[in-house]
Structure 1
Amino acid sequence: MEGNYDESKVTMAAIIAWAIWSNRNEVCNGGRVVHGSGRWTTRYLKEYYAANEQLAIVPTAQITNWIPPPTNRYKINVDGVVFKSQKIAGVGVMVRDCCGQVIAALSKKINVPLGPLETEAKAVEVGVQFARDIGIQDCIIEGDSLTIYTALYGNTSPPSTVAVVVSSIKVLCGAIRGVEFSHTQRQCNRPAHLLAK
């Protein structure tokens, strides 16, 4: 049905119908009849809206700043970008120490038309390889793809499109003394993203 309608009246009608149906079922199962369903539904809706307004204004704590690694470790942020029109991908890698100082950075073009998930996986692979190449032995590889992160930790099976790359990353990690993986919000991974672009 097209046209203007009052959403609050439609909501009220649906709640009243639900209340009548619910009470009818209760009576059929030996319960008692509830009179005044209109007043009850009005009170129910007011409580519902009040609860949802309170939930909407509760601030959610999100980490919006990059967090440095512990002393004597390095954090390697990685990210990937897809350039659909050019049918290529780019990866960025930023290596920083416990003081947040940039130790090394890498920007690399991949001349293959990869999808977003495949590009994120390649970014991690390039980051681990880069860590090996510059001699880092204790590091945290951090990216913003939760799918890749959970696959590397073994919490989930990797999607088939990245399973080979995830296996390759695990093999590369065998040559580094201490490697951890970390998931971060996209805004905390901005320097690696800019390198990838």
Structure 2
Amino acid sequence: MLPFLHEEKANNDPQPPTSAVREVVGVTWFPPPPTLFKVNVDGATTKHQNFVGVGSVIRDELGRVVAAMSRQIPAPLGPLEVEAKAFEAGLQLARDMGFQDIILEGDSLILVRALCGLSLPPSTIDSMVVGMQLLSSDFRTVYVSHVRRQGNKPAHILAKYALGINESVVWIEETPCCIEQALIQDFVTVSGI
């Protein structure tokens, strides 16, 4: 079971809770505390296709992109299953990049609650949730956070981008041009400009 993190600016505690469970009401993206990296993930499906896309973007406390990924998966998955694949791909990218302390954030409340042990996962994703909980043991710290779709646009764009490519693309310390505008919007929203 992973800690559930609620990120709301009204919370005066600058450090994430170690095991607190709080209700999610956040809509916008917020940068992680200085000691953590935030891994935002999302999945995308298409009609009449036998593949799906997943996207992940990892950012530091200043909102800078340190890694990003778009991957096409050749399988006819439903929306919940592709979201699970996106969470899994984000964890794998963070592990492969060598990050030890992360916040895994996506817009599927069902998955966030299942990963944190707050509810039982649907049977279609049960084994993937167990696998992600095991994969999380490769990290020193993993918090799981829910954000509404409005706060997850860069990951959503990368997931949609994956539908038009073969296999996968990874960007390291480079910002994919397809998400630049969404990243600027996140910065404007967070800074109040």
TM-score by length of 1: 0.68
Shift of 1:64: 3.8
Unaligned ranges ≥5, structure 1: 1-61
Alignment of 1:77 onto 2:33: no
Per residue, is there more helix in 1 or in 2? Answer: 1
Q: Does 1:97 find its partner at 2:65? A: no
What corresponds to 1:158 in structure 2? 121
**Bigger RCO (CA 8 Å, 6+ sep):** 2
Whole-angstrom distance in 1 between the partners of 2:48 and 2:114 = 29
Give the Å deviation of 1:84. Answer: 2.5
Q: Aligned Cα RMSD in Å?
A: 0.9
Structure index of larger Rg: 1
Mapped contact 1:77–1:95 kept (Cα < 8 A)? yes
CA distance in 1, matches of 2:136, 2:69: 18
Q: Give the residue type in structure 2 aligned to 1:145.
A: S
Contact 1:78–1:127, Cα closer than 8 Å, also in 2: yes
1:133 to 96, 102, 108: 96
Q: Give 1:74 shift.
A: 0.3
- Residue of structure 1 equivalent to 2:69: 106
Residue equivalent to 2:130: 167
- Could you tell me which runs of 5 or more consecutive residues in structure 2 were left unpaired when the two chains were aligned: 1-24, 161-193
Note if contact 2:27-2:147 (Cα within 8 Å) is conserved in structure 1.
no
Tell me if the contact between 1:127 and 1:141 (Cα under 8 Å) persists in the aligned partners: yes
Q: Percent identity of the aligned residues?
A: 51
**Which of 61, 68, 81 matches 2:31?**
68
Paired amino acid for 1:195: L
Correspondent of 2:151 among 156, 170, 188:
188
Give how far 1:83 is off: 1.5
Report the Cα distance in structure 2 between the residues aligned to 1:123 and 1:91, rounded to whole angstroms.
Answer: 5
Aligned length: 136
- Structure 1 residue 122 corresponds to structure 2 residue 118: no
The Cα of 1:65 is off from its aligned counterpart by 2.6
Secondary structure at the aligned position of 1:171 is classed as helix
> Does the 8 Å contact 1:84/1:113 carry over to 2?
no
Aligned counterparts of 1:160 and 1:107: Cα–Cα separation in 2: 26
Secondary structure of the residue aligned to 2:114 is helix
- The alignment partner of 1:132 has SS state of helix
Q: Does 1:176 align with 2:139?
A: yes
Q: Which residue of 1 aligns with 2:176?
A: none
